[in-house]
């Protein structure tokens, strides 16, 4: 639950800063968020919160299982992709429930963020949930697909409310690490190129309900990106 002492009428976070890093896979957000949190923690208590699902890493681990791994991963990926594709039918209650559980995992991580913030701890996040685009870019996993199943429809409704609650909390600043497809693919050779392209396109469309967004060209060297990120954080937290 978002408390009134934490968010003002314009949804702006009051109190300890929340700094969110977003971007396509290969933009460097995970590495950068870890180091930035460590740097900030030297002058003010800072907590790093991962707000991703982790489903991609799980899929790649399944794929590495002997003999049956690749087949299982293809089946799961196909069902997950269908669930997240606008206009497609969600393939069954079990698939919907798994997607819903991943969203619950993200919501519990977000609750951890809120508890830390209420204790005046500065927050750095790797990713940030949004309620604008379903099926991608840390948005709702079930709202893109279609269903006539009442159980799945109930899960869709609950999940949508969870994302609306999370998205209603505006970070102090969102740092968008923008990267092109060539760079992302070179840094993440184990990722599907078409999926990377979709993530890049969709991430550039996000507005996070008017929250402050600062864009950095993530094609630059890591040192240059880190320097710019720290300068942006200083501007918003001074």
The answer to whether 156 and 218 are in contact (CB under 8 A) is: no
Task: Quickly state the pLDDT bin for 2 (edges 50, 70, 90).
Answer: very low
Task: Quickly state the pLDDT bin for 61 (edges 50, 70, 90).
Answer: very low
Task: Quickly state the pLDDT bin for 70 (edges 50, 70, 90).
Answer: low
> Mapped to the 3 state alphabet, what secondary structure does 38-54 carry?
HHHHCCCCEEEEECCCC
The answer to whether 207 and 169 are in contact (CB under 8 A) is: no
List strands edge to edge, sheet with 46-50.
46-50, 122-126, 18-22, 173-178, 213-217
What is the rounded CA–CA span in Å between residue 164 and residue 140? 9
Q: Is the model's pLDDT at 119 over the cut of 50?
A: yes
| pLDDT value for 15 | 80
- What value does the mean pLDDT take over residues 42-55? 90
| pLDDT value for 5 | 38
Q: Is the model's pLDDT at 33 over the cut of 90?
A: yes
- What value does the mean pLDDT take over residues 126-152? 92
**Between residues 102 and 175, the one the model is more confident about:** 175
Task: Say how many C-beta atoms besides its own lie within 10 A of residue 72's C-beta.
Answer: 14
């Amino acid at each position: 639950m978002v408390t009134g002492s934490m968010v003002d009428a314009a949804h702006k976070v009051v109190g300890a800063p929340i700094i969110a890093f977003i971007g396509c896979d290969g933009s460097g957000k995970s590495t950068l968020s870890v180091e930035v949190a460590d740097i900030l923690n030297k002058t003010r208590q800072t907590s790093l919160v991962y707000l991703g699902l982790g489903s991609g890493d799980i899929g790649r681990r399944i794929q590495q299982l002997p003999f049956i791994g690749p087949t299982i991963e293809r089946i799961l990926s196909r069902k997950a992709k269908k669930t997240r594709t606008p206009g497609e039918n969600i393939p069954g209650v079990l698939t919907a429930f798994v997607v819903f559980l991943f969203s619950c995992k993200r919501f519990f991580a977000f609750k951890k963020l809120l508890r830390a913030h209420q204790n005046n701890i500065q927050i750095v996040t790797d990713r940030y949930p949004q309620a604008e685009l379903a099926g991608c870019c840390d948005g709702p996993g079930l709202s893109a697909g279609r269903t006539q199943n009442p159980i799945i429809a109930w899960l869709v409704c609950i999940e949508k409310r969870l994302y609306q609650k999370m998205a209603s909390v505006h970070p102090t600043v969102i740092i968008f690490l923008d990267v092109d497809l060539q760079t992302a693919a070179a840094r993440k050779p184990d990722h599907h190129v078409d999926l990377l392209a979709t993530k890049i396109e969709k991430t550039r469309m996000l507005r996070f309900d008017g929250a402050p967004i600062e864009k950095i060209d993530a094609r630059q060297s890591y040192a240059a990106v880190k320097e710019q990120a720290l300068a942006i954080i200083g501007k918003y937290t001074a």
